[in-house]
């Protein structure tokens, strides 16, 4: 009967409400054979996988979680376009699997009633049926199917219950046309939203005839948990504790694997040097490519850990509670309650923080969060703060007992937060101005997270990070390397990198070689440093600091290693910090004045709080906003702000007699 349709590659769409168990079902149907990309031109994620249903290969499309097909949000628009076959690059689906949560039947069925109106056959996959029956409710699946006039299959991804039957039913419906099981009345009394009213009336009748609720509902476990977790006082205490744990984890527990990765790349660079003949290719490979890519891959443990936590919080249902608790606070600045976690994560690293903004549905709220995330002082700024404080403010106290260094450190974090709040406030009233989207958020019942879903989500994010950010970062690393490497000032064969703290592999030391600091001075980067000197002079920076600023555009902590190269500090890493402190303190400008004063150090710290100085962040912003406009805007406004703030600090400080 359907011989032609069976032969070709089938396309099946998987649609359902958020939290309905769609992802779990998708994973169990496709296994590891899935692809994640974006729909062209937008940041809505497009997830596809291959599913074999009784011998036929089908392309399974996981639509974004949605409540309606009325195209009010971007997700809904895309889902609608996929179902109607209008989305370019996606064939019109042969059937839709509607994922319906049995414990939340009425609202879940709303989307199903809409699907009937598109002429694509629908099979209902009823999830959470085990939970539903545990609560002593009963559901008559045959009756439900008869009333909906479409097949209904109870599925359980854990036990594989109903998976074969689902495949069978899907094959059966392909080629048929669904029947809309209700009729709209032409003269509706309920105004513009009459259709919604009609659909829900139909659903109420269906549920009344097919479901028997027990009286046990009052004692739901989720309500008991919520009494504690969303308590007006303890709820906030627990939230802070959870955030601290997440923060602590990405901040400190990730440091061991990060160190290992750093050492690994370091060793790889050394290995390349010993194996390859000295020369430009060895330098490019070791200093440009391995060091550049290594510098990015080092972030991977933080990203994996953060996404492990986010998946756990999201899947367990806690994330919605956190947003519920904090929404009032965040809405004062014009942000969504869900912006809190990405911002806290950004204290460890803005990259996973920005990637975590995906949980915010409203595009404008999300972009505002992305734009301010890099103001949170990340771990890469710490080496810069530490160097400046250790060099110029060590051992000094405020009020006799508080360490000046600690006060300054705290002030830098506070400065970032205050500026972020102001910028968010301004952005939400200008560039990202919009009527506040309705804050309507489901508080799903608490559930034990599905380990497989959590791990898969984590790996997907990690892979996307490596793939997308990695390509841009690799290109920029090579450019920066070239800027510091060319032109060569003599016949020398090798100069070690400014980008990492690699020690020189002794084999290449020859008598004719210029010191690295000399090479850097004559490189394009050195010339650039001279070129920008007039611009940075009002900040109290000489051209050498300018070179360090340019180099640290790759990543903030590179400032430290670049300064050690510029001041020809010994390469022994164990002594580096000791000697670098002295070198910075004793450094002279070309006309013999001290290059650094405590005021210069403070100005540099202020600059680093506010400047973007991180190509990885820009690459991730490019990916997450799907446009070059936003990262360029970020680069421009953050650098501008940093310059102005540094100018005020330096000139103000000088006027007050410091420095």
Partner 1 sequence: MKRKTKDKLTLTDLPHGTDARVKSVHGSSRVSKRLMELGVVPGVELQVVKSAPFGDPIEVRLRGYSLAMRRSEADAIEVAI
Please state, in angstroms and rounded to a whole number, the distance separating the CA atoms of residues 522 and 529: 10
For 61, the enclosing helix (H) or strand (E) is: strand 56-62
Please state, in angstroms and rounded to a whole number, the distance separating the CA atoms of residues 253 and 246: 10
Report the residue number, 314 or 624, with the smaller CB distance to partner 1: 314
Site for partner 1 in 13-72 (CB under 8 A): 67-68, 70, 72
Report the residue number, 231 or 467, with the smaller CB distance to partner 1: 231
Neighbours of 504 (CB within 10 A): 15
Report the residue number, 67 or 393, with the smaller CB distance to partner 1: 67
Please state, in angstroms and rounded to a whole number, the distance separating the CA atoms of residues 184 and 201: 11
Phi, psi of 314 (to 5 degrees): -65, -50
CB of 450 to partner 1, least distance (A): 20
Question: Does residue 196 touch partner 1 according to CB under 8 A?
Answer: yes
CB of 304 to partner 1, least distance (A): 30
Site size with partner 1, rule: CB under 8 A: 41
Q: Where are the alpha helices (DSSP H) in 149-288?
A: 163-173, 194-210, 221-229, 234-248, 255-275, 280-283
Report the residue number, 188 or 471, with the smaller CB distance to partner 1: 188
CB of 193 to partner 1, least distance (A): 5
Q: Candidates 180, 225, 258, 441: give the one binding partner 1 (CB under 8 A).
A: 441
Question: Does residue 537 touch partner 1 according to CB under 8 A?
Answer: no
Q: Candidates 89, 328, 448, 592: give the one binding partner 1 (CB under 8 A).
A: 328
Report the residue number, 79 or 525, with the smaller CB distance to partner 1: 79
Question: Does residue 197 touch partner 1 according to CB under 8 A?
Answer: yes
Q: Does residue 110 contact residue 199 with C-beta atoms inside 8 Å?
A: yes
Report the residue number, 90 or 432, with the smaller CB distance to partner 1: 432
Question: Does residue 218 touch partner 1 according to CB under 8 A?
Answer: no
3-state secondary structure 313-346: HHHHCHHHHHHHHHHHHHHCCCCCHHHHHHHHHC
CB of 217 to partner 1, least distance (A): 8
554 closest CA partner among 566, 565, 562, 545: 562
- Mark the segment that binds partner 1 (CB under 8 A) among 91-99, 227-235, 256-264, 289-297: 227-235
Site for partner 1 in 491-520 (CB under 8 A): none
Question: Does residue 333 touch partner 1 according to CB under 8 A?
Answer: no
Question: Does residue 443 touch partner 1 according to CB under 8 A?
Answer: yes
Structure tokens given for 122: 């629908």
Burial call 48-76: b when 16+ CB within 10 Å, e when fewer: bbebebeebebbbbbbbbbbbbeeebbbb
The binding track of 232-251 with respect to partner 1, each residue x by CB under 8 A or -, is xx-xx---------------
- Mark the segment that binds partner 1 (CB under 8 A) among 301-309, 384-392, 433-441, 577-585: 433-441
Question: Does residue 316 touch partner 1 according to CB under 8 A?
Answer: no
Estimate to the nearest angstrom the gap between the alpha carbon of 541 and the chain centroid: 34
Rg (CA), the chain: 29
Q: Which residues pair with 101 in a beta bridge?
A: 127
Question: Does residue 110 touch partner 1 according to CB under 8 A?
Answer: yes
Report the residue number, 50 or 68, with the smaller CB distance to partner 1: 68
Please state, in angstroms and rounded to a whole number, the distance separating the CA atoms of residues 636 and 13: 42
Neighbours of 538 (CB within 10 A): 14
CB of 317 to partner 1, least distance (A): 10
Question: Does residue 192 touch partner 1 according to CB under 8 A?
Answer: yes
- Mark the segment that binds partner 1 (CB under 8 A) among 57-65, 104-112, 386-394, 482-490: 104-112
With H, G, I as helix, E, B as strand and everything else as coil, classify residue 123: strand
Question: Does residue 309 touch partner 1 according to CB under 8 A?
Answer: no
Estimate to the nearest angstrom the gap between the alpha carbon of 517 and the chain centroid: 38
Q: Give the footprint of partner 1 on this chain (CB under 8 A).
A: 67-68, 70, 72, 103-107, 110, 190, 192-193, 196-197, 200, 217, 223, 230, 232-233, 235-236, 320, 323-325, 327-329, 331, 435-436, 438-445
């Amino acid at each position: 009967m359907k011989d032609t349709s069976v032969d070709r590659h089938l396309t099946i769409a998987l649609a359902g409400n958020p939290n309905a168990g769609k992802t779990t079902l998708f994973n169990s149907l496709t296994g590891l054979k899935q692809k994640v990309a974006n729909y062209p031109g937008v940041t809505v994620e497009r997830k596809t996988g291959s599913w074999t249903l009784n011998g036929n290969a089908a392309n399974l499309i996981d639509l974004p979680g949605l409540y309606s097909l009325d195209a009010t949000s971007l997700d809904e628009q895309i889902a609608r376009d996929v179902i109607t076959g209008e989305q370019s690059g996606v064939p019109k689906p042969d059937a839709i699997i509607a994922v319906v949560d049995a414990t939340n039947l009425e609202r879940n069925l709303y989307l199903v009633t809409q699907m009937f109106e598109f002429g694509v056959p629908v099979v209902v996959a009823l999830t959470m049926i085990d939970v539903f029956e545990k609560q002593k409710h009963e559901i008559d699946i045959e009756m439900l199917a008869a009333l909906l006039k479409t097949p209904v299959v109870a599925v359980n991804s854990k036990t594989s219950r109903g998976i074969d039957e689902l495949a069978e039913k899907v094959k059966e419906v392909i080629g048929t046309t669904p029947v809309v099981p209700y009729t709209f009345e032409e003269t509706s009394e309920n105004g513009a939203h009459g259709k919604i009213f009609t659909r829900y009336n139909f659903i109420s009748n269906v549920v009344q005839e097919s479901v028997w609720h027990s009286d046990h509902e009052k004692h739901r476990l989720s309500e008991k948990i919520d009494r504690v977790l969303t308590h007006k006082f303890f709820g906030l205490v627990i939230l802070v504790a959870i955030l601290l744990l997440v923060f602590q984890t990405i901040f400190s527990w990730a440091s061991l694997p990060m160190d290992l990765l750093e050492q690994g790349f370091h060793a790889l660079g050394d290995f390349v040097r010993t194996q390859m003949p000295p020369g430009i290719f060895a330098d490019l490979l070791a200093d440009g490519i391995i060091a550049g890519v290594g510098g990015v891959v080092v972030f991977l443990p933080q990203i994996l850990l953060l996404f492990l936590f986010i998946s756990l919080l999201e899947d367990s249902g806690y994330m919605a509670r956190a947003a519920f608790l904090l929404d009032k606070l965040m809405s004062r600045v014009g942000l969504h309650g869900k912006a809190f976690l990405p911002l806290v994560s950004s204290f460890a690293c803005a990259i996973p923080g920005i990637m975590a903004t995906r949980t915010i549905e409203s595009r404008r709220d999300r972009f505002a969060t992305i734009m301010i995330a890099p103001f949170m002082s990340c771990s890469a700024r710490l080496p810069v703060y530490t160097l400046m404080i250790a060099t110029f403010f060590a051992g000094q106290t405020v009020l006799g007992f508080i360490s000046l260094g600690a006060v300054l450190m705290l002030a830098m974090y506070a400065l970032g937060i205050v500026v972020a709040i102001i910028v968010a406030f301004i952005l939400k009233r200008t560039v990202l101005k919009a009527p506040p989207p309705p804050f309507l958020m489901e508080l799903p019942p608490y559930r034990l997270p599905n380990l497989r879903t959590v791990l898969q989500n984590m790996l997907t994010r990690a892979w996307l990070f490596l793939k997308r950010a990695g390509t841009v970062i690799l290109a920029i690393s090579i450019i920066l390397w070239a800027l510091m490497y060319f032109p060569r000032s003599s016949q020398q064969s090798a100069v070690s990198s400014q980008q990492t703290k690699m020690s020189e592999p002794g084999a290449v030391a020859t008598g004719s070689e210029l010191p690295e600091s000399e090479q850097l001075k004559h490189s394009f980067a050195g010339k650039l440093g001279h070129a920008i000197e007039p611009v940075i002079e009002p900040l109290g920076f000489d051209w050498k600091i300018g070179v360090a600023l340019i180099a640290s555009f790759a990543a903030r902590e590179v400032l430290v290693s670049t300064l050690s190269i510029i001041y020809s500090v010994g390469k022994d890493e164990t002594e580096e910090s000791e000697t670098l402190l002295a070198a910075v303190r004793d450094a002279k400008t070309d006309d013999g004045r001290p290059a650094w004063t405590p005021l210069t150090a403070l100005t540099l710290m202020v600059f680093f709080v506010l400047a973007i100085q991180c190509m990885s962040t820009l690459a991730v912003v490019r990916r997450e906003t799907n446009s070059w406009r936003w990262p360029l805007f970020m680069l421009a406004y953050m650098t501008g702000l940093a310059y102005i703030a540094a100018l005020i600090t330096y000139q103000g400080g000088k006027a007050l007699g410091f420095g």
